[in-house]
Structure 1
Amino acid sequence: MKETMVDKTVTYTLEYKGKLYVVEQVPARVCQETGEEFFSPDTVEHIQRLIKGGKRPDRIIETPVFKYA
C-alpha cells in the first residue's frame, strides 16, 4: 500500500473567544489525496500555549468578514 501522508508545514487558523488566530509554519501530516491535516498532541498543545499565553504576535493582519445571507 502506498503512503499518502506527507510531512509539511501549514497555516493553522483558530477562532478563540471571538477572535481569529493564524499560526504559520505549523508541522503537520497531510493526506495527499484529501488534503486533511493531522497534528501531533505536542503541536496542538504548543498552539494552545501560543494563543492563550498572551505572547505578542509576530504580526497582525486585517481580515474582511462577510455574512453569507
Structure 2
Amino acid sequence: MSSNLNDTLVEKTVTYTLEMNGKFYLIENVPARINPETEEQFFSPSTVERLQQIIYDQQEPIRIVETPVYNFAA
C-alpha cells in the first residue's frame, strides 16, 4: 500500500533563509508544508512569488539580526 506524499505533509510556518550577493535574508512566518520525517519544506507557487517580491523589492525589514561567521577550515 503506497501512501500519498501530500497526506503526510504538515502545514506549518517556517523561517525562510536565503543568501544573495553576500547578504543573508531571513523571512519569518512563511507558510509551508513540511515532511515530518525528512523536514523537507514545500512552498506553494504564490508563496515563492511573495518571497521573491520581498527580497527583490528590498522591503523595509522588521528588524536586523547580527550573525556570527565561522571558518570551518580553521
Q: Same fold (TM over 0.5)?
A: yes
1:43 maps onto 2:43 in alignment: no
Deviations 1:11-66 (A, max 9, x none): 10000111000000000000011110000111111011101102110000000011
Structure 2: runs of 5 or more not aligned = none
Greater Cα radius of gyration, structure 1 or 2: 2
SS in 1 for 2:58: coil
- CA-based RMSD: 1.1
Give the alignment's TM-score, normalised by structure 2. Answer: 0.87
Structure 1 runs (4+) greater than 6 angstroms displaced: none
Partner Cα distance (1:28, 1:16) in 2: 21
1:33 maps onto 2:17 in alignment: no
Question: What percent identity do the matched residue pairs reach?
Answer: 55
Give the alignment's TM-score, normalised by structure 1. Answer: 0.93
- Number of matched residues? 69
Structure 1: runs of 5 or more not aligned = none
